[in-house]
Structure 1
Amino acid sequence: MEATYPTITVDLILDRFTTKDVLHGVLHSILFHRLFGTIKPTSFEVLDVTMPGVADPEMEQLVNEKVDAFWRGIEGGAKRGQILVTFSERKPKKSWFQVYMGEEDVPWEQWVINAELKQQRSDQERQNLHSTLAATLTKTIHTMLSHTSSERGRSAVPLITNAAGISPFPIQISVKVGDVEIG
């Protein structure tokens, strides 16, 4: 079944020294652009790129757990992984006979972060990777801004009927390394 909601893909090539910081910054930036409650903004410096974030203990814990899960999967020897951030809305679930059967989460947008770990053999290779990664992060922030402010990005957001909390919508962040879901 093909997704009818927007899927935004971010491709990153990382090294062991920057993986956690980069993923932390990218996840926070996605949340910053898609949380609709009252948030306290913050920012992160990652490879001289300023990335927006959310100063909320619950979101910080969620991001740290998922970045750590990704790191544990990569430590196991895999070189590629994925972090999926799915925003959903709660809708009534009905059976065939229109009988109310509870609620279900229906996705309205998904962000896919494809991350690949590369080993550098020299300081020159590391510097080249870091400068390329900084440019990729800048492009990623631009993509986030373009998408969330575009007509398609704005129209994907369902009506906000619950103003309680930092997010009126369920957020699911899943980590896959080697096609196996972790954490």
Structure 2
Amino acid sequence: GRRIRKGAKMTYTTTYHSPLGIITLASDGEYLTGLWFNDQKYFGSTLTHNSIDKELPIFIQTKAWLDIYFNGEIPTFLPPLRYNTTVFREMVWNILLTIPYGTVITYKDIAQEIAKQTGQKSMSAQAIGGAVGHNPISLIIPCHRVVGTSGSLTGYAGGLNRKNELLQREKVNMTNLFVPSKKNL
């Protein structure tokens, strides 16, 4: 196979034009390492200074996933993902990967699951919120499917209107969900 020199931290990027705005994809050459809406919070958190714009097999695969998703269908595969992060964030992101298309869970649900996995009595929903918010691979790791216990579409790095739109695209039952008013944020 191809050999990559250790320590050579090269990042490759490309863009994808989605119905909800331009998306930047990032890769280490083999795995998908980032996917952000261009105006979102923590944009480019995994990018290195020397990134090259280049079309790679991983990007072709990810764009195929995005095409299926934005067509209103459920992708049946996952591009290979890589994240260099804390054990805690990785646990949270792995739970996000299990949330089925068209459903939502709460930060509290995730907190209870992490507490169970780590043998703790409880876990702070705020800590979960921080980990969810720093997810570097939007959409594919579906952080938009996490809502507040009250049904509030709180805290989406890509913006609450976009989160609302993504959930509607997935035909989530929006009856008990709402965009919080400015004064409640």
Taking structure 2 as the reference length, the TM-score comes to: 0.24
Larger radius of gyration: 1
- Higher RCO, Cα 8 Å, sep 6+: 1
Taking structure 1 as the reference length, the TM-score comes to: 0.24
Greater strand fraction, Structure 1 or Structure 2: 1
